[in-house]
Structure 1
Amino acid sequence: MAIPPEIFLLPPKSEATLQQQIQQIVAETIVSGRCAAGERMPSSRKLADHLGVSRITVTLAYTELVANEYLISRDRSGYFVADSAPKRPIFVGQTAEEKGGVDWESRLAHRPRSREDILRPPNWTDYKYPFIYGQSDPDLFDHRNWRNCSLRAVGRKDFNTLTHDHYQNDDPMLVEFILRYILPRRGIRAHPDEILITLGGQNALWMIAQLLLSEGQKAIVENPCFPGLRKIFDQMRYVASSIDVDNEGLPPDLIPPDADVVFTTPSHHAPTNVTMPLDRRLAMLEKALREDFIIVEDDYEFEMSFLSPPAPALKSMDQAGSVIYLGSFSKSIFPGLRLGYVVAAKPLIQEMRKLRTVVLRHPPSHIQRTTAYFLSLGHYDSQINRMARAFSKRRAIMEACIREFKLKLDVHEMHGGSSFWMKAPPGVDTTKLALELRKHSVLIEPGSAFYAYRSPDTSHYRLAYSSINANLIHDGMELVAAAMEAAEKAQ
């Protein structure tokens, strides 16, 4: 990689010669780490033109830097930063106070509280058996058509959509497709002014919590639940009330009469994957109307109901406008897209739009338009079908392995999804188990991050099949079972 000449500037009012000044600025840049070993220096002509000095002055400076082992010269290739170049020493433990800089520890007024994350290494692709949730399988993604849609979105025809600041507005093509093709699959009818595009589900949950919750109001969350929701409350210095789910999801009869907002995942409960039955959904809607609370329905992964048809969304049966519906493309297209949407009453959408503007005007226009083309040209449905077939096959293999290796499912009745919620034998700590399995290139997700502080849990874990090749599942599950048996015997 060539180093641009623009990073080098001569010091003002220096008494050193030009050659010495060039040696100093190059040496300082290398020692500071801004130029790495092996990188090519600007040619003597380019650096001379940039600094406004003669070429021979730069050549002499480079020659001296070679003698001092900062640079090496390669015939017909130029000068390069030497592997032996000096580096500035790093003093471990030196603090901002010792340097005389800003004491950020005392300046931060609202630091995010430390809450356990789902145990998942960032280099998960390096592991042979990644039973982790929510990541994409490159073999299932429609790379070619996504690329074509992306090129179309940056073309001349869509120039205004791509480049203009649309202030609070979203891409009308994407909104139109969600209205006409996505929401009808969930039985939902809405108007354009009842939809807001978000940067994924987390962004939507944050805006809803900011607008609907304040001191003295009561929010209800499922236990276990999506860890990101509890992190939002932590940052707000807000404490929500948790209700334990059962094999049919959140029990409506346990919702207290003073509840103001209830957050729920009825189609695929996070993380157990249980589906709330129709009678319970109706009971929750009736209670919301009777006791005047708002329901936030996170309908993530509804597309993955490949074992049976998806149950009707709460929003589709909502006659009073008390349901706020959240959808996302993170699981159906790819998680790095970070694009979702909210469907709610017009007054709330207006306020959410205003709040979104405080942080960002709107999600990037080219991402919205690319997604709109991907959806409208039929590529989205094709990808969903491809994923459903692959997931159904992987799920069948995992179910057979669970029976073969006598692993314990915590939830049996599921309509699809992309993971299993598992329970370890008594006394087995799944966090320790997960760390032990990493030594064998196996990744599982301990369940402790999903539970409230008042009910810590180390016995559950999640096994997902969205990211692992079907041919590797049996061997990976065998390793999980062997580690589980060893951990149980060690008790």
Structure 2
Amino acid sequence: MSIPVESFFLNPTAAGTLQQQIRQMVAEGVLAGRYRPGDRMPSSRGLAQHLGISRITVTLAYTDLVSSDYLVARGRSGYFVSDTAPRQPEFPPRRRGTVCAVDYAALTGNRFSGQERLAKPEDWSSYRYPFIYGQADVSLFDHRNWRLCALRALGKRDFEALTSDYYERDDPLLIEYILRHILPRRGIIAAPDEVLLTLGAQNALWLTAQLMLNPERRAVLENPCYPGLRAVVRQTGCAMVSVDVDQDGLPPEALPAADVVFTTASHHCPTNATMPLERRRTLLEAASTRNFTIVEDDYEFEMSFLKAVSPSLKSLDREGRVIYVGSFSKSLFPGLRLGYIVAPAPFIREARALRATVLRHPPGHIQRTAAYFLSLGHYDALINRTRAAYKRRRILMDEAIREQGLTIAGQGGFGGSSLWMRAPDPVDTEDLALRLQARGVLIEPGRLFFDPAAASRRHYRLAFSSIPNPRIPEGIALIARAIAETGLTQA
């Protein structure tokens, strides 16, 4: 049977090259059972004329399908669906409308899905004024060199790194670069058995909390703090105590009795306060005297563009009391989901074993691509470019905020990619965010950053990592206008 040429059409919104689209159409037709073994494909000339494309494009697509065993070429007769082409399993699909007899909400208790999370629209990039945190800027990222590194990682020379199961190990090339280049910038000297790769900082914090905390232990969290951390710590069943931060971050003198203290010393989340060196030493002395462990989430340390970066707590630690968490999610891009833990070898050994119960290791190809990108100098060039861009945007933000009379609650003295804001008393920033979203402006309400027992609805975060420079003053003006309207409404 001949497959009619009318079965094929190009979708103008489809991703990929024309050759890839033809391949996809044929493969989907074979897998769905529409094209059966022995069916004859349209001629390359006929399909090219029908689709209005080059004949060589169709020929290349057919050749690729032959190499994948979807098609077979038979001399002058043309191309046919292969007798050994991949097929879908031959069993009937599940009927629609099947009733689930299990009450999974009762079985799971909705312990995880019921937790509140920071909400960001999936189409955030379509908004004109996206003041949201943690998203990559397409205009800054080095797509070309990342692609070249990915292609190199896909080559035959790196076949083992791409395809092998490392079991519980990590890519030695990436570990070596972290040990020799990334950690020394934070004043940290470590050995290979003191580093573990993770799926981002969130995964690192989860592993750490699972190992260090239980219902008999107490954890101290900064207030406000990263909402994801509070959710992670809550899962352990431990006692949680929130300690209010000041303009210099977490105050050691305010710490209650604790087993583990979590801190973001370099750039406090979300206020961006930078803990002074003397306070860092005081915190370490308290840890030694009172026998607690510190978990240091050192996010955004690369974005110190106002002053020189401070040494990490880990670099000042002389007793192995600091567990250090780092990530490439903010410095490269969030979708990479690649982070690391640095800690004494006995802790890393346990963390590696726990990680193995959930996943063996982060994907080998991702590790090797990142290793090449870092080792070839592209990472440092990207950091320099991003730091300069953020500095310009920060200046624009400061000027626009001052001009519009808005209030900065915490901006930090070293850099970062966001500002912590406070609205006037009548303003509920969750309502404000909804009204601004309708005007194309995205902000992050601050309630979820605080201890639920005393959450503030007046704070909000404005990030500048993903908004073009010319739109910053316009967006800040819209925020100020919306706040003024709220005040008038309340009055």
**TM-score (normalised: structure 2):** 0.81
Q: Distance in 1 between matches of 2:100 and 2:266?
A: 55
AA aligned to 2:163 is T
Deviations 1:30-57 (Å, cap 9, x if unpaired)? xxxxxxxxx99959xx75745x9x99xx
Please list, as runs of the form range in 1=range in 2, the aligned pairs for 1:132-171 lying within 5 A after superposition.
132-171=132-171
Name 2:241's counterpart in structure 1. 241
Deviations 1:103-139 (Å, cap 9, x if unpaired)? 3223326731633222321110110000000000000
Please list, as runs of the form range in 1=range in 2, the aligned pairs for 1:66-465 lying within 5 A after superposition.
99=99, 101-108=101-108, 111-112=111-112, 114-256=114-256, 258-465=257-464
Q: Distance in 1 between matches of 2:35 and 2:424?
A: 71
Distance 1:110 1:442, change over 3 A: closer
Distance 1:329 1:107, change over 3 A: same
Matched position secondary structure for 1:490: helix
Distance 1:48 1:490, change over 3 A: closer
Q: Distance in 1 between matches of 2:401 and 2:184?
A: 36
Deviations 1:285-308 (Å, cap 9, x if unpaired)? 000011110000000000000111
Moved over 2 A (4+): 39-43, 46-50, 99-103, 105-111, 113-116, 233-239
1:236 CA drift (Å): 3.2
1:396 CA drift (Å): 0.4
AA aligned to 1:206 is W
1:148 CA drift (Å): 0.2
**Equivalent residues of 1:113, 1:235 under 8 A apart:** no
Distance 1:306 1:105, change over 3 A: same
Distance 1:180 1:490, change over 3 A: same
**Equivalent residues of 1:199, 1:363 under 8 A apart:** yes
* Higher Rg of the two aligned structures: 1
Q: Distance in 2 between matches of 1:373 and 1:323?
A: 29
AA aligned to 1:483 is A
AA aligned to 2:236 is M
**Equivalent residues of 2:216, 2:239 under 8 A apart:** no
Matched position secondary structure for 2:408: coil
Distance 1:187 1:120, change over 3 A: same
Q: Distance in 1 between matches of 2:119 and 2:456?
A: 14
1:264 CA drift (Å): 0.2
- After superposition, the CA RMSD in angstroms is 2.3
Deviations 1:358-417 (Å, cap 9, x if unpaired)? 000000000000000000000000000000111000110110001100000112542100
**TM-score (normalised: structure 1):** 0.81
Name 2:83's counterpart in structure 1. none
Name 1:63's counterpart in structure 2. none
Q: Distance in 2 between matches of 1:429 and 1:157?
A: 57
AA aligned to 2:339 is G
Q: Distance in 2 between matches of 1:48 and 1:376?
A: 47
**Equivalent residues of 1:200, 1:341 under 8 A apart:** yes
Structure 1: state its 5+ residue gaps: 4-38, 56-74, 78-89
Q: Distance in 2 between matches of 1:423 and 1:472?
A: 21
Matched position secondary structure for 2:421: strand
Please list, as runs of the form range in 1=range in 2, the aligned pairs for 1:32-71 lying within 5 A after superposition.
42=29, 47=34, 49-50=36-37
AA aligned to 2:166 is H
AA aligned to 1:171 is D
Matched position secondary structure for 1:275: coil
Q: Distance in 1 between matches of 2:100 and 2:157?
A: 54
Q: Distance in 1 between matches of 2:327 and 2:50?
A: 54
Q: Distance in 1 between matches of 2:35 and 2:421?
A: 66
Q: Distance in 1 between matches of 2:240 and 2:185?
A: 32
Q: Distance in 2 between matches of 1:183 and 1:245?
A: 27
**Equivalent residues of 1:119, 1:446 under 8 A apart:** no
- Worse-superposed segment, 447-456 or 343-352: 447-456
Q: Distance in 2 between matches of 1:181 and 1:189?
A: 10
AA aligned to 2:312 is A
Deviations 1:253-287 (Å, cap 9, x if unpaired)? 1111x310000000000000000001110000000
**Equivalent residues of 1:168, 1:357 under 8 A apart:** yes
